[in-house]
Amino acid sequence: MTVPKREKSLAKSVATSLDVATHAVREYHTTALGAVYLGDSLNLLEQYVKPGSVDLIVTSPPFGLLRKKEYGNVDAEKYVEWFKPFGAAFRRVLKSKGSLVIDIGGAWNPGTPTRSLYHYELLIMLCRELGFHLAQEFFWWSPSKLPTPAEWTTVRRIRVKDAVDCVWWLSPTPWPRASNRRILSPYSESMKDLLKNGYRAKLRPSGHDISEKFSVDNGAAIPPNLIAIPNTESNSYYLRYCRDNNLEPHPARFPSELPELFIRMLTDPDDMVLDPFAGSCVTGEVAERLGRKWMCAELTEDYLKGALARFHHDAQSNCQEELFPLSGKAKKPPVTSYYKIFHPGALWKDLPFEPLPQDGGESRPATPKETMISKQL
């Protein structure tokens, strides 16, 4: 793709701020704050991004899945070795107080209802071999995920739905730049009641001393490391653009609020944000909206054709309006929560007794049709 002439000067200034030589990388698109590059991100990182020039890397690399996906995943068994050169490059380009945030899903071992350890092995490799520190682990909960593998969850009924991705927050230092004051959550109703009526200081059975400090109104609550965000965007500007232009949307997009949480918590305006596995460039879209410099790299051009939609003026305005409707213009109040969480025992007493399979589910249960036929014989 040829960069429009009016954007040539922008491209030059962006590349300077990114510490990337413009002639050495195939530049696909530029904005006032960032640039999209087409090609191997490892090659880009190793040759053209200067050491200590990036404040935050936030990305969702191809997962180590057992079945090949169209977006280019790597076998779980080979994943850690495949990722190691990327990890070393991330370590090199990050600033000393910078952060690396990796959204990574789990996988099942082939043929058995047991989980692969690849994403934990990845974490251990990054820390023990490459010198990263685990600042904190987060868990992205998306109940809209399908119950897979169906064989273990819906056929044999011996496992539950896997609805959580691990999100590793790492840094070259134990003390990365961060502030949880930027991502505070609304108080729960019980906390509002406590603030209104007061709390009698006492020692809990756990030994924790709950003092009157807990009744201080700080305006909002510190969020947990469980991130509840649906991964649904049935009618976003991006998808409409893809439909209108006969483009295939990227099949594994993460929701914009996921990178936004970390960009807000871990960077200041004008800091540099990098996504080396950009896909449809969600990270770049959020960074642009929040006033951060950014760079996205993607290996597959077909995904970047649709990603261009994210940098249209209408897309930026639409994204901001969907998340934070303007007063007087909003058709409905802004969403402050996504899910209602039922306590585990909500239905226990009403469920019929189900004997445990003595073989642990190793033998496949008969289908309703097979059961009916056997009764007729």
Looking at the annotation, which residues are catalytic? 60-61, 103
H/E element, 194: helix 189-197
The C-alpha atoms of residue 130 and residue 84 are separated, in whole angstroms, by 8
Query: How many DSSP H helices and E strands does the chain contain?
Result: 12, 11
Residue with tokens 């500007």: 237
Residue with tokens 């406590």: 194
Q: Which residues pair with 166 in a beta bridge?
A: 104, 139
User: Which of 165, 162, 168 has its CA nearest to residue 108?
Assistant: 162
If DSSP codes are grouped into helix, strand and coil, which group holds residue 35? Answer: strand
If DSSP codes are grouped into helix, strand and coil, which group holds residue 27? Answer: strand
The pair of structure tokens assigned to 173 is: 């230092």
Q: What is the DSSP letter of 183?
A: G
Residue with tokens 């793709």: 1
User: Which of 297, 267, 294, 263 has its CA nearest to residue 280?
Assistant: 297
**What would the DSSP string read from start to end of 94-123?**
EEEEEEEEEEE---BPTTSS-B--HHHHHH
Label residue 312 left, alpha or beta by phi (over 0 means left) and psi (-120 to 50 means alpha): beta
Label residue 177 left, alpha or beta by phi (over 0 means left) and psi (-120 to 50 means alpha): beta
User: Which of 39, 163, 40, 177 has its CA nearest to residue 100?
Assistant: 177
